[in-house]
Structure 1
Amino acid sequence: MDLSVWFALMALFFAGGLTPGPAVMMVMSASLRYGAPTALIPAAGVSAANLVWIALAATGIAAFAAQAPLVLLVLKLAGICFIAWLAWTMATADPHRPRARADQAPAKSNLFGRGVGLQLLNPNALVFFGLLLPSYFDADRPVVPQALLIMATVTVTEMFGLAFYAWLADAMNRKFQSPAFTRWFNRLAALAMLVSALFAAIMTTNT
């Protein structure tokens, strides 16, 4: 991979990591409820799912799925249903700050699993990894080193963006310390999460 291509890739995913989407909304909501350090658990789940997407892109499966109408439809429907469920649980969550629950192992594993599930079924991820990422691979060079470099780049940029939003939400929560603020933020975040997923699904309709 040429250095210019790598810089372009880094810029793409750095901007993507800072653009509010379903993953950002979920991490911010988790930060409001559990605190920024625990909110990095679903962020890690999102990054783990990215590794799967990159592996699929490297083998061409992601691009095939993005171009196969039936496969694309199934992925979009499954993703929208899962994100709608996540949005519902977020919007109806207890608005108080039960930080003590963040120390419970089941809560942490659940948060990680939600991050993985969200990103694997996220139509936004299909756009990035199925339609955009394959063009960054150089067909004349070995795929594995390129995939490893992309994995490292995407993981660092994704975690940076999600960590930024996690601490931003934690700072807002410490400032306001209001269950009403948390309740309305969660509702707006849930709406933004669902709208973002629907937009990405519609965006891929004619691909």
Structure 2
Amino acid sequence: MHETTLLLFAAVSFVGIATPGPTVLLALTNGSRYGVKRAAYGFAGAVASDFVLIFAVALGLGALLAASVFWFTVVKWVGAAYLAYVGIRLMLSKGAFDAADQSGTSADSNRSIFLKSFLTAVTNPKGYLFFSAFLPQFIAPTQPLAPQYTALAVTFALLDLSIMFGYALFGARAIRLLKQAGARWLERICGAMLVALAGSLALYRRHAA
């Protein structure tokens, strides 16, 4: 893969990742609630989902969802329901920022932080359709496909990791000024945005991809 192609992919991906979406909103709230150190488990979940999405597309899952109304609908409603669940929980939050959360003794385990970000991404069919349309633009069909998909996956994951770190750091710094009331409103706002994204996913139609 040519370096210019990889740089172009990175530039376009950066814009897409930086635009607030479900995993970015979770990074922001995790940073405010747990601090950057524990929010890193959410980063890991999102990065793991990047590899799952890209390699699933490489194996043809994106094409399956684009061709099958049934499987697209199943994945869409599972994703919308899970996203709404996460959003509603944040909206009902009383503001969980405290020393216990940052020390790792809160009710939310590191595993649950990881899974929340991972499941939010892998149950979103728009991700599969997006990568199905996006990745082939940077793939040279005359060259071995596996190294190319691997290079794109690693590049995308590194960008995702750095951007989520920035959002989590912003959330952690901001909450020190806003304190408990600020934590509550930040989580409610992010929760409302996640519910809105769940609604948009529920209304999403395959032919709109």
**Which TM-score applies when normalising by structure 1?**
0.90
The alignment status of 1:199 with 2:200, answered yes or no, reads yes
1:15-30 equivalences under 5 Å are 15-30=15-30
Note the 1:37-76 alignment, pairs <5 A.
37-76=37-76
Q: Which runs of 4+ in 1 moved over 6 A?
A: none
Determine if contact 1:58/1:137 at 8 Å carries over to the other structure: no
Alignment root-mean-square deviation, CA: 2.0
Farther-moved stretch of structure 1 (46-55 vs 121-130):
121-130
Structure 1 partner of 2:142: 140
| 1: CA distance, partners of 2:112 / 2:159 | 24
Q: Percent identity between the aligned chains? A: 23
* Amino acid of the structure 1 residue aligned with 2:191: A
Name 2:77's counterpart in structure 1: 77
Distance 1:159 1:198 in 2: 26
Equivalenced residue count is 206
1:1-207 equivalences in 2 (<5 Å): 1-102=1-102, 103-104=104-105, 107-177=109-179, 179-200=180-201, 202-206=203-207, 207=209
* CA shift for structure 1 position 17: 2.0
Cα separation, 2, equivalents of 1:35 and 1:56: 32
Q: 1:136 to 1:18 in 2, by over 3 A?
A: same
The answer for unaligned runs of 5 or more in structure 2 is none
Structure 1: 5+ residue runs without aligned partners? none
**Contact preservation (8 Å) 1:127, 1:204:** no
CA deviation map 1:103-128 (0-9, x unaligned) = 24961011011111111012442343
Q: Does the 8 Å CA contact 2:33/2:101 hold for their aligned counterparts?
A: no
Q: Distance in 2 between matches of 1:46 and 1:70?
A: 26
Q: TM-score, normalised by structure 2?
A: 0.89
